[in-house]
Amino acid sequence: MFRKKMTVSVSTLVPDQAIDEVPPPPRSGKPRRREGSAFLAVPALVWYLVFMIGPLAAMFVISLLNWPSIIAPGTWAGLGNFQRLFNDPTFWHAFGNTMLQLVIVLPLMIPLAFMAGYYLSLRPRGHRILSVLFFTPGLISVSTKAMMFFGILSPRGALNGLLQALGLDHLATAWLADPATALGCIIAVDLWSGIGYTAVLFSARLSSISGETYEAAKLDGATQWRIMWQIAFPIVKDFVGVTTMLQFLWTLFNSATIVLLLTKGGPGDASITLSYFVYDKAFISSQVGYSQAAGVVVFIVGLIGMILIRRLIRARD
Amino acid sequence: MRLSRFSIGRLFAGAAVWFYALLLIIPVYYLLVSSVKSNTQIFADPFGLPTTWEFSNFPEAFDRVDLGSALLSSATITGFAEIVTLLLAIPAAHGLARAQGKLGAVMERIFALGFLIPGFAALVPTILLAIAMKLYGNPLFLILFFPATAMPLSVILLAQFIRSIPPEIEEAAQMDGAGRLKTLVRVIIPMAAPGIATVAILNFLGFWNEYLFSLLILAPNPSLRTVQVALPVLVTQQSADYGLLAAGILMTLAPVYLLYLLLQRQMENALIDGALK
């Protein structure tokens, strides 16, 4: 109602109070000073822009530079980095691995987590213990997780020990050093911790559905399976969509850490992913501009992926 | 009214869920027993109880990667980053919660979009920024940078909390002559305390567990490395001692799990709120 910017000091407000009483908008006391209060968010916004959006914008510029090392200045390269990138078999290998990772992780994790979350939301016996167990991997840092699995997957670690105990010695291998299994290990670690944690989130969301909704369906003779997919799922569908998007971004961008700690992309480049490719080019091969060209591609893949997931969720309405 | 066709599916679901739970427990069990074994014992019998208890793994791992100074470094960075975050986010959230103009809506929108920008996306330019600020190798950069990564979630969650506080209470305080700052400190902060606790817990986990930026920013200064960066050093040396590693992992996990034991409910709610809102 008051377009001009108002001063915010309390002393000026008090006398204005009486004049202000014209028609108060519903559910809000004093509209006058409210325009101004948004300015309180400026420091936080500036902070965010300087440390997050600024570097992100810089990435696009750097991708056009020839930058031999992190401390040396760069020279103009135009689109040369991109040209090189699209002709680099390692890049395409990383691209393929990341796609494989996404195509395995998302369709497995989201439905399994939804089903487990639905099960937990029915409060079966032991659901408290299950929730705690499912939840705690969310507390473990990526580096700790990586070190746990470094021990478990090492040639004489827990997994091979277990296989031996089960008489399946022939399946035992050096999991992280075998080109056939290295990428699989990276994917397995993601699934191991992600399914449970996501399930707890889904179960929290599902517990807001009243039991009566289910009872009515049961009386109609619907099976638990149908209740889960045709009643519970549509209610939390939007949330499932958001979770899928976040998991997609997490898998796409954050695999660098776990790859760095478990396999360094190896053996050879068997387990190299897009985000590890960016890391490797910048900090190991010292090709900063080149790495950022790959960074731009990852960013665009992220955008396209999000649009696709959004479409997919909307299309099922 | 338990029909049999319900229970078959339920039985199967129960079995699947408990099987997965077992997959989560086994690594923890393996860690616990390994932490008091020598390499030879681990290799000979990975799941058996130790025949001789090698408690020396703990002090040895602690000394080898200088976990004491790493804990101090992690605590300092996490603590100060947390303070900076809250100092910026609380007034911002208050402002946005009470703003009704377009400006506030636009700013909130920008923060909301921030959820979708992972920190890793700008990893390399962020390191370059640290170099340009002459803060490469300096934990101060992490103290300044971490709050930016936490800002979207902190501001949006807190704004939602503050919106649930009736504005009349604030107005009453202001009629009594309290200034904006006083209202914030005396009225808003106490009433939004559960929200602030949620945000503080989420940020604690995020900052304490961060690895890649800490690794790179503190690379020139190994004596200042954080716990997360120190732990993997146990295996980058040529010979990996798995007993030592297990002991190191348990010690790294201890602070977070201790906090979880103390604040179990709040922590679960925080992580769930952070994801659901």
Shortest Cα distance, chain B CAs vs residue A7, angstroms: 12
Give B40 or A305, the one with higher predicted confidence.
Answer: A305
Q: Say if residue B1's pLDDT is above 50.
A: no
Contacts of B93 in chain A (CB under 8 A): 41
pLDDT of residue A21: 39
Q: Does A44 touch chain B (CB under 8 A)?
A: yes
A235: closest CA of chain B, how far (Å): 14
Sign of the torsion formed by the C-alpha atoms of A270, A274, A277 and A283:
negative
What are the b/e assignments for B190-212, b being 16+ CB within 10 Å?
ebbeebbebbbbbbbbbbbbbbb
Helix, strand, coil percentages in chain A from 3-state DSSP, rounded to 5: 70, 0, 25
In which residue ranges of chain A is pLDDT below 70? 1-36, 70-71, 316-317
The pLDDT value recorded for residue B143 is 97
Bigger pLDDT: B20 vs A16: B20
b/e code A47-79 from CB counts within 10 Å (16+ = b): bbbebbbebbebbeebbbbebeebeeebeebee
Tell me the Ramachandran region of residue A162: left when phi exceeds 0, alpha when psi lies from -120 to 50, beta otherwise. Answer: alpha
The answer to whether B195 touches B162, Cβ cutoff 8 Å, is yes
Give residue B271's pLDDT band: very low, low, confident or very high (50, 70, 90): confident
Taking a C-beta distance cutoff of 8 angstroms, is the pair B159, B108 a contact?
yes
Residue B184 is predicted with a pLDDT of 84
Q: Which of residues 181-210 of B touch A (CB under 8 A)?
A: 205, 208-210
Nearest to A291 among B24, B118, B124 (CB): B124
Contacts of A283 in chain B (CB under 8 A): 216
B147 residue type, one letter: P
Closest to A203 measured CA to CA, from A105, A127, A313: A127
Identify the band that residue B168 occupies on the pLDDT scale cut at 50, 70 and 90: confident
What integer is the mean pLDDT of B57-84? 93
B258 vs B265: CA distance, rounded Å: 13
Answer whether B24 sits within 8 Å of A55, measured CB to CB: no
From A182, A210, A178, select the one nearest A273 (Cα to Cα): A182
SS3 labels along chain B = CCCHHHHHHHHHHHHHHHHHHHHHHHHHHHHHHHCCCCHHHHHHCCCCCCCCCCCCHHHHHHHHCCHHHHHHHHHHHHHHHHHHHHHHHHHHHHHHHHCCCHHHHHHHHHHHHHCCCCHHHHHHHHHHHHHHCCCCCCHHHHHHHHHHHHHHHHHHHHHHHHHCCCHHHHHHHHHCCCCHHHHHHHHHHHHCHHHHHHHHHHHHHHHHHCCHHHHHHCCCCHHHCCHHHHCCHHHHCCCCCHHHHHHHHHHHHHHHHHHHHHCHHHHHHHHHHHHHC
Q: Is B160 exposed, middle or buried (0-12, 13-18, 19+ CB in 10 A)?
A: middle
Which pLDDT score, from 0 to 100, does residue B151 have? 94
Beta strands of chain A (E only): which ranges?
Answer: 65-66, 75-76
Closest among B213, B202, B262, B207 to B74, alpha carbons compared: B207
Which of these ranges, A280-284, B46-50, B96-100, B176-180, has the smallest mean pLDDT?
A: B176-180
Collapse the DSSP code of A76 into the 3-class scheme (helix H, G, I; strand E, B; otherwise coil) and give the result.
Answer: strand
Q: For residue B130, which of B216, B206, B210, B72 has the smallest C-alpha distance?
A: B216
DSSP string, A200-263: HHHHHHHTTS-HHHHHHHHHTT--HHHIIIIIIHHHHHHHHHHHHHHHHHHHHHHHHHHHHHHT
Q: Is A66 helix (H, G, I), strand (E, B) or coil?
A: strand
Q: With CA atoms as reference, report the closest residue to A18 among B169, B175, B180, B167.
A: B175
Contacts with B167 from chain A: Cβ below 8 Å: 28-30
Please tell me the distance from the alpha carbon of residue A263 to that of residue A179, in angstroms, as a whole number: 10
pLDDT at B40: 84
Question: Whole-angstrom distance between the N-terminal and C-terminal Cα of chain A?
Answer: 39
Q: Any CB–CB contact under 8 A between A31 and chain B?
A: yes
Q: Which two tokens stand for residue B5?
A: 């066709």
On whether the CB atoms of residues B183 and A40 are closer than 8 A, the answer is no
CB contacts of A191 in chain B (<8 Å) are none
Q: How far is CA B83 from CA A46, A166, A226, B154, in A?
A: 17, 52, 49, 12
Per the omega criterion (within 30 degrees of 0), is the bond before B91 cis? no
pLDDT confidence of B49, banded at 50, 70, 90? confident
Percent of chain B with pLDDT strictly greater than 90: 43
Tokens of B54: 């090698």
By C-alpha distance, the chain B residue nearest A30 is: B171
Closest alpha carbon to A295 in A51, A55, A59: A59
What pLDDT does B215 receive?
95
- Closest in B88, B103, B246 to A151, CB measured: B246
Look over chain B and give the mean of its residue pLDDT values, rounded to a whole number.
Answer: 87
pLDDT score of B90 more than 90: yes
Percentage, residues of chain B above pLDDT 70: 95
Integer Cα distance of A67 and A195 in angstroms: 40
Paired residues of A65 in beta bridges? A76
The model's pTM is: 0.86
Q: Which of A30, A133, A225 lies closest to B25 in CB terms?
A: A133
Tokens 């090492």, located at residue: A154
**Closest among B43, B217, B256 to B137, alpha carbons compared:** B217
In degrees rounded to 5, what are phi and psi of residue B151?
-60, -50
